[in-house]
Amino acid sequence: MIFDHRTYVCRPGTIKKHLKLYETHGFEVQKKHLGAPLLYAATDTGNVNSYVHIWIYRNAADREQRRAALQADPQWQAYLHKSAEAGYLVSQDNKILTPVSFFALDRDV
């Protein structure tokens, strides 16, 4: 099992607009291909212009296959176009995490 941990930073004052755009146009299509995220959360302290989401995959091949299907979906491409037009995002940081030996997720991937 691997976890895809993503942190995004929005321009100050735009995070609520960005998350609304994603909720309206991106979340359902992304969930269709990637499954439900383990976590999707806005930062409450520190950089309050950022948010994090974590997706779970069986392995790197599963991640690659699901993400390729997402990228090929016209609905996802339409969302990416809307997001780029809005220009709310400043940066993105991705990390692939592997669970430690004593962690067990009580959820099917």
Find the DSSP H helices in 1-109: 15-25, 27-34, 60-72, 74-86
Its CATH architecture, for the domain 2-96, is 2-Layer Sandwich (3.30)
Residue type at 108?
D
Residue 89 has a pLDDT of 98
* Domain residue limits, the chain: 2-96
Residue 93 has a pLDDT of 97
15-25 vs 74-86: helix crossing angle, rounded to 10: 160
Tell me: the pLDDT tens digits for 28-84? 999 999 999 999 999 999 999 999 999 999 999 999 999 999 999 999 999 999 999
What is the value of pTM for the model shown? 0.90
CA dist 43 and 46 (Å) reads 7
